[in-house]
Structure 1
């Protein structure tokens, strides 16, 4: 009789989840995809705290600097304006929805002080003549001017706090908005739509697939017919129908519409898995012990499908991002001024003739491609990790 050593016994007693985790950790492409996803999640959660333009929807457009290429730098004069009490936000509101601008920004080429006035030369717009010199009273520029002793003190404060160099690292769009800020906020929208769409698809797909696979008979025929009908309708047509039914277009409609177009694949997988699992001995034992049918499905069958469901959810996440980008490109998804990568590609496509048009198309396209690639790599890695036929490497 063979006697196992302590080390061999420990290895033999390891749960399957250990080997799944090890296979996944050894899959470098999957780990790269996971890193990109986690980085995107951090960016999405940080949102307005990470954006150069933290106004709602990153919609602070400056006409004078529209369609500028990446790396464009200019001087900005910020002039205080009155803020309504309702516009003041707490830190949580700032993270979620941004902060309305409390300063009027004016791009300038040069400035000088003369007496009690500030004279500025506004930045010339693309292919436009230089604007006339504008004069501002010193006390109209700063906040609470009465706290300063004289004009010299105000001049120093303006130089320090109200005139600054601003760099648009990824350029500006046709409305003069910061592209980097809108790309960051677009990450939140893409991940949000992907998450909600996958959640809806899992709930609907698991329900339909489980009912059809477990009960069989006319229930299975009805569920299969429903899956076939939805599968045969193009996603865009479904989204249009849902938008018409809800009489609305926007972020939440896009969330629901994308989710309701992706549940069929989940249902087919769940149905196929349950058809095989319901014949197992432990299911028969549960029936003999008087476990309810809903209890058998929820407590005994669905937990044995966690692996396939995680894999398909990851793949659906990538598909949802692509579908949302395509719908927004066509104007059927997220609506302005909310930034969506697909809508940004469309805006850049309309400016292909301009110097900045190429960047406005390429930058959001790279974001879409990288995020979709990351989810596909992670999905492939999860599929391999749940395959017991793939051995662990010695390393």
Structure 2
């Protein structure tokens, strides 16, 4: 009977969620961002590792900029598996040169390097023998930079796509760590009470009193700068909210009749907490987790902006804003606005899905 009732409550919550347009829209948007994050290197025009192919002669170009690109093959290309290329990017040792004009005569290729502001670029000559089958034409193609280029001449669209990985996955890792610690601490404090509760509440209050960003900076400096360190640091600061909610819910739930019945049947404390209490109090925890996703993305962006998040040449939306925020007053605001809009839309999606889940899981409405 109870199983049938729980199934009907789940269906009711699902129906309410489906009726929420912004909740459903955010859900599909997050799935899209997740797929882009996983397959970023398959979609990105620049599939080199971290989308880090620099061309200083075409730096800070406007969206839609086109240029002919000459690729000079290297003898030292490293062997890579297909999966490695798909998920980690191509280890590219070829040389890419933006050119304004070229001429093939006999066994040589003469090309003029691209130079902006009406300046004529340097003219260079290269033997056709460096190209396979001595044919240079397949290695000259027109490239379009849909989002333009950054201050190092890298493709901005590729950097945005690859940068989605850090912002998206930090949410998952941080929320997973915060749930692991928060649910355990809150359950122990709420269920056992007394001195155990007093100690855990003291720890929660101390952690709560330290500003989140300062705590993350301290943990990051202790663990060292880097990709995984930031993930762990953000997760270690977000468990407090989860612990407080779980504790409060368990304090009220442990007095319910089904818990008294479970005790009378001789069930152990661990089973009562995990099998009986936690499944009944997960609705507010799910809502907090959605909000923590958004908070984790913002904290990571702030850390990258301060220079202690993901380190160069890794693509990160926060680092992209840091590199280009001064371009807002230099007439090229899109260099900072595009990654800023990406952060805003991802955070907004998590907040909307959190609101939709809150409404759907509210049994009173």
The TM-score bracket by the shorter chain reads over 0.9
**Counterpart for residue 103 of structure 2:** 112
Compare 378-387 and 345-354 and name the one that shifted more: 345-354
Distance (whole Å) between structure 2 residues aligned to residue 188 and residue 12 of structure 1: 39
Whether the 8 Å contact between 1:112 and 1:120 is mirrored in structure 2 is yes
**Counterpart for residue 178 of structure 1:** 155
Whether the 8 Å contact between 2:22 and 2:352 is mirrored in structure 1 is yes
**Counterpart for residue 91 of structure 1:** 82
**Counterpart for residue 113 of structure 2:** 122
Distance (whole Å) between structure 2 residues aligned to residue 14 and residue 263 of structure 1: 29
Distance (whole Å) between structure 1 residues aligned to residue 329 and residue 146 of structure 2: 21
Whether the 8 Å contact between 2:23 and 2:352 is mirrored in structure 1 is yes
Whether the 8 Å contact between 2:68 and 2:140 is mirrored in structure 1 is yes
TM-score by length of 2: 0.96
Task: Indicate which of 153, 167, 171 corresponds to 1:190.
Answer: 167
How many equivalent pairs are there? 362
Deviations 1:288-346 (A, max 9, x none): 22111111111111111222221111111011101111111111211111111111011
1:184 Cα offset (Å): 0.6
1:244 Cα offset (Å): 2.8
**Counterpart for residue 269 of structure 1:** 245
Distance (whole Å) between structure 2 residues aligned to residue 196 and residue 43 of structure 1: 18
Deviations 1:212-250 (A, max 9, x none): 00000011111111111001101222122212322x101
1:286 Cα offset (Å): 1.2
- Call closer, same or farther: CA 1:113–1:384 in 2, change over 3 Å: same
1:128 Cα offset (Å): 7.7
**Counterpart for residue 229 of structure 2:** 253
- Call closer, same or farther: CA 1:370–1:264 in 2, change over 3 Å: same
Distance (whole Å) between structure 1 residues aligned to residue 237 and residue 222 of structure 2: 15
Question: Residues 38-117 of structure 1 correspond to what in structure 2 (within 5 A)?
Answer: 38-84=31-77, 87-117=78-108
SS of 2:70's equivalent?
A: strand
**Counterpart for residue 136 of structure 2:** 158
Whether the 8 Å contact between 2:328 and 2:334 is mirrored in structure 1 is no
Query: Are 1:133 and 2:126 an aligned pair?
Result: no
Structure 2 residues not aligned, in runs of 5+: none
Whether the 8 Å contact between 1:88 and 1:99 is mirrored in structure 2 is no
Question: Residues 211-250 of structure 1 correspond to what in structure 2 (within 5 A)?
Answer: 211-246=188-223, 248-250=224-226
1:354 Cα offset (Å): 3.4
Task: Indicate which of 266, 269, 273 corresponds to 1:290.
Answer: 266
**Counterpart for residue 28 of structure 2:** 35
Distance (whole Å) between structure 2 residues aligned to residue 116 and residue 12 of structure 1: 80
1:45 Cα offset (Å): 1.2
Whether the 8 Å contact between 2:230 and 2:309 is mirrored in structure 1 is yes
- Call closer, same or farther: CA 1:279–1:12 in 2, change over 3 Å: closer
Whether the 8 Å contact between 1:69 and 1:355 is mirrored in structure 2 is no
Query: Are 1:16 and 2:9 an aligned pair?
Result: yes
SS of 1:118's equivalent?
A: strand
Distance (whole Å) between structure 2 residues aligned to residue 334 and residue 132 of structure 1: 36
Compare 179-188 and 306-315 and name the one that shifted more: 306-315
**Counterpart for residue 149 of structure 1:** none
Distance (whole Å) between structure 1 residues aligned to residue 52 and residue 40 of structure 2: 14
Deviations 1:101-152 (A, max 9, x none): 142111000111122111111100x458323211111112x12x3xxxxxxx
Query: Are 1:327 and 2:303 an aligned pair?
Result: yes
Distance (whole Å) between structure 2 residues aligned to residue 199 and residue 12 of structure 1: 29
User: Rg: which structure is higher?
Assistant: 1
1:13 Cα offset (Å): 10
Distance (whole Å) between structure 1 residues aligned to residue 326 and residue 230 of structure 2: 23
Cα RMSD, aligned residues only: 1.6
- Call closer, same or farther: CA 1:12–1:79 in 2, change over 3 Å: closer
**Counterpart for residue 208 of structure 1:** 185
SS of 1:60's equivalent?
A: coil
Distance (whole Å) between structure 1 residues aligned to residue 6 and residue 69 of structure 2: 66
